[in-house]
Amino acid sequence: MDASANMTPDPASSAHMPRHGIRSLDELQQLTQLAAALSGCSTLLIHLCQETSITLITGRQWEPSAQDPEIPFCRFALSQPEPTVIEDADRHPEWASSPLVAGPWHFKFLAGFPIRGKQGELMGLLTLLDPQNLHLDSAVLQALGIVARQAASAILLGDTRARISQLSDEHQKVKRAYDDSESFYHNLVESLPQHIIRKDLEGRFTFANQNFCRALGKELKDILHKTDLDLFPTHLARKYQQDDQQVMHTGQKIETTEANEGLNQQTSYVHVIKTPLFDTKGKVSGIQGIFWDVTEQIHTEQNLASERQLLRSLLETIPDHVYFKDTASRFIRCSRELSDRLGLKNPSLAVGKTDFDFFKEEHARPAFEDEQHIIRTGEPIINKIEKETWQDGQVGWVLTSKMPYRDETGTIIGTFGVSKDITKLIQTEEALRQAEQKYRDIFEKAVEGIFQTTPEGHYLNVNPALARIYGYPTPEALLDSLTDIQKQLYVDPSRRATFQRIMKEHGEIHEFESEIFHRDGKKIWISETARTVCDEAGNILYYEGLVEDISERKRAEAAMEFARDAAMESNRLKSVFLASMSHEIRTPMNGIIGMTSLLKQTSLSEEQHTFAETIETSANGLLRLINDLLDFSKIESGKMTLEKTSLALHDIIEQSVGLLADQAQQKGLEMILKLDPQVPQQVLGDPVRLQQILNNLLGNAIKFTQKGEIQVMVQTLKAQRDTHWVQFQIKDTGIGIKEEAMESIFEAFMQADDSMTRQYGGTGLGLAITRQLIELMHGQLHVESTHGKGSCFWFTLPLEMGKGKLTVERSTPYPWSGSKALILEPNDHSQEALAPILRNYRFDYHFMTQGKQAIAELSKVQRSDAPYRFVLVNDSLKDQTGIDFCQVVHDLKLSPAPTLILMTSIRTQPDKKRLEQCGIQLVVKKPIMQGVFTRGFNRLFKSHASEPEIEKEDTSAVTMHQVQPLSGEHPEVLVVEDNPVNQSVAEHMLKKLGFRPTVAESGDQALEWVQRHPFAMILMDCQMPGLDGYQTTYKLRSMERLGQTKAKVPIQIIAMTANSMDGDRQKCLESGMDDYIAKPVLIHTLASALKRAMNLEGDSTEEGNPHPEEASTKSTSDHAPVEPDRPTLDHKILMTYIGEAADKKQSMLAKLTHLFVDNECPKRLEAWREALETTDRDAIGRCAHSLKGSAANMGAQRLSQHCAEMETRAQDMSREALEQGLDEALALAQEACDALKAFLDS
């Protein structure tokens, strides 16, 4: 078979060729020829394989009947990894029967070389066929493999050429379409009124239409390839570039309206749309922008929006009914107020409805007819009053105006209206009409006179009642007769002037009383209540008011005033009588008491001593009775006044308990004080009256208790800001009170029953006075009692906080704080009283009740790591005495040995030797109280003596002869004092203490003295005429700074004042003084102050030497006015002036008594009387102050107390009270003078 004859491809076969080889057929034919030459085969074929098909593209064309006989072989060869070569197919078991071998072609040589691409993918097959058996060596086979690879390259080259041709054709089509599109786009963008631009990715302009160019005033060539920064201001360019970047980064368009402010400050608006441009691959290649001026559109929209908002606001907020209707009277729109009134949730719900949907026919029909009339005629309806009757039956009134509603052409298309609700106005007018009628009825029928007058005094209108009051038959007659009110009506014309002045100043007047002339000439009293009536500018139009005839009331008041004056005079005379009787009785009583006191100090037999004590007890009882009667009289007459000063509450409570503890212990009663440490220490109140209350209640408890105990319990119930509510309880185990007597025990002169008066005595005034004093302090006295078992009285007082320590709690621990203590106390209530004191001082304490138990405890614990440091023992134990118990403990020789402390009654005086033998180191007196406890332990820790410390008695009664002169050099002392009595007292005390005193009677004299003499110390009175002590000190300190005094060092100035109020000490120190002592000055107090001034005194907390910080507090209690049941004179003070004189008439006391009785007292009282005549309250206060100090120094405590009260209250007292104050001062002064003379003569 000739190979060359078979190489021409069949046209039909070429038409069915796949995409491979369509452009490389010649190359493939050349390759088949080369393969034929190399192998010598007659038939060579090349097939292309695509997916599942195998297609012949060059080589032999079979007969038409043939069905591609080579295809099975091709499939086989393509499946083999290496070329397939069959040299003798007749003998090949698989191919011998195939059509290629057994068929008409009789091929005996079969070979197939796969055509593969660069990646090894099958592209086709080079097939060699020959009817002869051929044998190809390896070189030929290798060459045929190269031909197969070249065939692969030819196929790929053909594919590339075909793709290039295709792309070229497509490019031409696209270019033609692009050119057509560009032409259309250019024509379009140039015909549009908008500005249109395009930019590339770098923001350079690639296109701009002529509108944009004209807006910039530039040619297109001057814009292309430029950026925004080249064409616009920087801030705008940055904004445009930012928008461009946003579009290019997101691929999303932006559309906005921008506001730009021009050079003329006018704002223009531009609508901007920017969209991304994409290339053929879908990537963003730039942006396209379209923008146009919308300023006019924006302004139009803003104006429309503003108008819509105005209309909306109007319809939403207007309080009237506003509505628009069409020609059929259907609602088009209405206000919120109308829709709410119609009961609709939204105004839009009214649209389409008519008045017939909301109102009854009687209102809806006339409204419809009015609206139709307006539509027909165009005539409005203005201010028509309409009655609205709603479907629910409610009736209202509106003031309506309706107008035609026209369109732009003026055609009436409906109506609109405004209806104002005037229901309240109609109702008000009706009420006003009724009120006017009612006022006319009242005006005509009133009992009181009613008038209207001009401000000048002419009647405008009066009612019949006023005419009757003034004596006229009719109002007209009064108006005709009274033409000048001031001259014709008022008895005192100035009253009308006063009336007019008050009306002008205040615009009204109430119950203005005047005497006027009746028509018949008699005088009557009237009361006027009136007001001014003014116009809108505030100008007075007229007066109107009421007149009441008060003649009868005036006559009754005159009678009552006469009766009151008579009663007051009677009361004054009673007070004077009581004061006089008090003086007359007290004078001999004080003589009796004083003489009895002196008599008891003489050598008396036991019987005589008993008689003297009986006399003294009876006299004191009678004196208490007189004091109770006087107090009760003061309370009943409302003249009892309470002092409000700073007081040491704990001290007062402990003083009361301590004062009466001896009486209780005399009867074998246990006195127990439970004082809560949280009770405030410093409060404001009346220390004397508070102590009187406590003494009365405690005295009663002791009187009516035969066995058992008396408990005093004080605690704070609540605290609020500066006020503490403090509760006081006094509980006894006495006879109790019968239930039927509970209501009457607080009444004056009443006791539980008559037998009590006979058995226990008393007037029945104590509880009555106590209750009323408590009520004056804003408290209330209560009682609970069981007959035969005891009583409990309690009251609560609101006490304002004073200055100083609030409670007794200490921030600085005492030396014994935290110590372990064993307390042997059999009484549970005593344990309860001791516990808070021990806790307050941080004791680790343990209570026991039996001696044997305590001994066992001590024996065990003292050997431990936490032994007891203190053992406190009650002297009265159940199984033994306290001293015996201490003896046992002492004999045990415990190590460490506890400190033994014995608690005994006041009356018990244990033998010191016995105490030493038992190892007792401290004895404290019961009842145990905070102050007693502290003083006792202070002495214990400061004492180094071997003998036991026993609580000492009060040292305030130290006499002159008991005082030793102070050691060391005694400098000269200047006494600045205007009162002769006080001068003498100070001189005498200073001489007794070894000092050389000089007296200056005024501040000016003192300033002269210090310039001539080097005084080291000054005793300075604070209250003096002219320069007082504070001013004198201030000037003296200034002189010292200027070197105008003789002293080389600052002078020590000690204040002396009768004022012991809280804050007085601070005032003295702030003025430049160094120390402070209160009058009456006691010699040991003065000695302590002088020691401090000379730096001789060590620890100022030693007993008897109070620290300056405690001076004001202590003086408040020590020198406050004494209790009412104390004697007229304080004999302790008087005894200090006797000293060692054998005869009192030769002592300092005689000199002082002469000065006081014959000079000081009459002089001050006379000045007081003169000040009273002119009601000079300041002078009265000064007189009272001076007399207060000298009286205190003379021990006349009642007189001093009264003067202190007058000094404090003189500015606020009435003339009558001031007169009574002088009367009482005269009586008390006479009483004191008589008592002094009696004491001196005894």
Give the percent of the chain with pLDDT over 70.
Answer: 83
Please give the helix or strand (H or E) that residue 661 lies within, else none.
Answer: helix 649-666
Q: Is residue 1135 part of a domain?
A: no
Instruction: Count the neighbouring beta carbons within 10 Å of the beta carbon of residue 18.
Output: 13
Instruction: Specify whether the CB–CB gap between 1132 and 956 falls below 8 A.
Output: yes
Q: What is the CATH number of the domain that holds 158?
A: 3.30.450.40
> Cα dihedral angle (854, 860, 863, 869), rounded to 10 degrees?
-20
The pLDDT value given to residue 1108 = 37
Q: Is residue 1130 part of a domain?
A: no
Claim to verify: residue 590 and residue 720 sit in the same structural domain? no
pLDDT band at 657 (very low <50, low <70, confident <90, very high): confident
pLDDT band at 633 (very low <50, low <70, confident <90, very high): low
| Segment among 270-284, 545-559, 744-758 with least mean pLDDT | 744-758
| Segment among 247-261, 506-520, 1100-1114 with least mean pLDDT | 1100-1114
Claim to verify: residue 967 and residue 923 sit in the same structural domain? no
Instruction: Specify whether the CB–CB gap between 730 and 793 falls below 8 A.
Output: yes
Return the structure tokens found at 457.
């005094």
Helix then strand count (H, E) for the chain reads 39, 38
The per-residue pLDDT for range 875-894, each reduced to its tens digit, is 888 878 889 999 989 988 98
Query: To the nearest whole number, what is the mean pLDDT of the chain?
Result: 81
Claim to verify: residue 385 and residue 512 sit in the same structural domain? no
| Segment among 40-44, 630-634, 867-871, 1185-1189 with least mean pLDDT | 630-634
| Segment among 229-238, 440-449, 850-859 with least mean pLDDT | 440-449
Claim to verify: residue 198 and residue 236 sit in the same structural domain? yes
Mean local confidence (pLDDT), 823-831: 89
Q: Is residue 30 part of a domain?
A: yes
| Segment among 309-318, 490-499, 973-982, 1092-1101 with least mean pLDDT | 1092-1101
Q: What is the CATH number of the domain that holds 914?
A: 3.40.50.2300
CA–CA distance, 773 with 642 (Å, rounded to integer):
9
Report which of residues 1055 and 50 the model is more confident about.
1055
Mean local confidence (pLDDT), 1009-1029: 89
- pTM higher than 0.85 for the full model? no
Q: Is residue 305 part of a domain?
A: no
Domain boundary among 951, 970, 999: 951
Domain boundary among 524, 549, 574: 549
pLDDT band at 1081 (very low <50, low <70, confident <90, very high): confident
Claim to verify: residue 530 and residue 595 sit in the same structural domain? no
Claim to verify: residue 152 and residue 203 sit in the same structural domain? no
Return the structure tokens found at 906.
């006041």
CA–CA distance, 1087 with 221 (Å, rounded to integer):
119
265 backbone φψ class: left, alpha, beta (φ>0; ψ -120 to 50)? left
Q: Is residue 1129 part of a domain?
A: no
Give the percent of the chain with pLDDT over 90.
Answer: 25
Please give the helix or strand (H or E) that residue 324 lies within, else none.
Answer: strand 321-326
Query: Interhelix angle for 1215-1241 vs 1148-1155, to 10°?
Result: 150
Claim to verify: residue 998 and residue 855 sit in the same structural domain? no
Report CA-CA distances (Å) from 1137 to 657, 998, 1134, 1143, 1193: 31, 19, 6, 12, 10
pLDDT at 54 over 80: no
Which of 742, 730, 675, 674 has the alpha carbon at shortest distance from 702? 730
Domain total of the chain: 8
Q: Please, is 954 exposed, middle or buried when counting C-beta atoms within 10 Å of its C-beta (0-12, 13-18, 19+)? A: exposed
The per-residue pLDDT for range 1061-1071, each reduced to its tens digit, is 545 677 787 78
Claim to verify: residue 650 and residue 636 sit in the same structural domain? no
Q: What is the CATH number of the domain that holds 233?
A: 3.30.450.20
Range of the domain at 747: 645-809
Identity of the amino acid at 1174: T
Instruction: Specify whether the CB–CB gap between 974 and 1006 falls below 8 A.
Output: yes
- Residue partners of 823: CB distance under 8 A and separation at least 6: 831, 834, 838, 845, 846, 847, 848, 871, 872
The per-residue pLDDT for range 144-179, each reduced to its tens digit, is 889 888 888 888 888 788 788 888 888 788 777 766
Q: Is residue 1136 part of a domain?
A: no
Rounded to the nearest 5 degrees, what angle is found at the Cα of 542, between the Cα atoms of 541 and 548? 165
3-state secondary structure 1042-1071: CCCCCCCCCCEEEEEECCCCCCHHHHHHHC
Claim to verify: residue 407 and residue 483 sit in the same structural domain? no
CA–CA distance, 465 with 78 (Å, rounded to integer):
145
pLDDT band at 727 (very low <50, low <70, confident <90, very high): very high
Please give the helix or strand (H or E) that residue 670 lies within, else none.
Answer: strand 670-675
Report which of residues 369 and 188 the model is more confident about.
369
Which of 823, 827, 798 has the alpha carbon at shortest distance from 673? 827
State whether the Cα torsion 220-222-226-227 is positive or negative. negative
CA–CA distance, 1217 with 637 (Å, rounded to integer):
12
Q: Please, is 894 exposed, middle or buried when counting C-beta atoms within 10 Å of its C-beta (0-12, 13-18, 19+)? A: middle
| Segment among 388-392, 796-800, 984-988 with least mean pLDDT | 388-392
Q: Is residue 304 part of a domain?
A: no
Domain boundary among 930, 951, 972: 951
Claim to verify: residue 757 and residue 858 sit in the same structural domain? no
Claim to verify: residue 374 and residue 459 sit in the same structural domain? no
Instruction: Specify whether the CB–CB gap between 69 and 75 falls below 8 A.
Output: no
Q: Is residue 433 part of a domain?
A: no
The per-residue pLDDT for range 96-109, each reduced to its tens digit, is 888 888 888 888 99
CA–CA distance, 1205 with 1218 (Å, rounded to integer):
11
pLDDT band at 962 (very low <50, low <70, confident <90, very high): very low
Report which of residues 901 and 1023 the model is more confident about.
901
pLDDT at 466 over 70: yes
Strands, sheet with 43-50, edge to edge from the N-terminal-most edge strand: 53-58, 43-50, 122-130, 109-116, 84-86
Claim to verify: residue 842 and residue 970 sit in the same structural domain? no
| Segment among 425-439, 603-617, 720-734, 930-944 with least mean pLDDT | 930-944
- Strand-pair partners of 390: 359
Report which of residues 575 and 440 the model is more confident about.
440
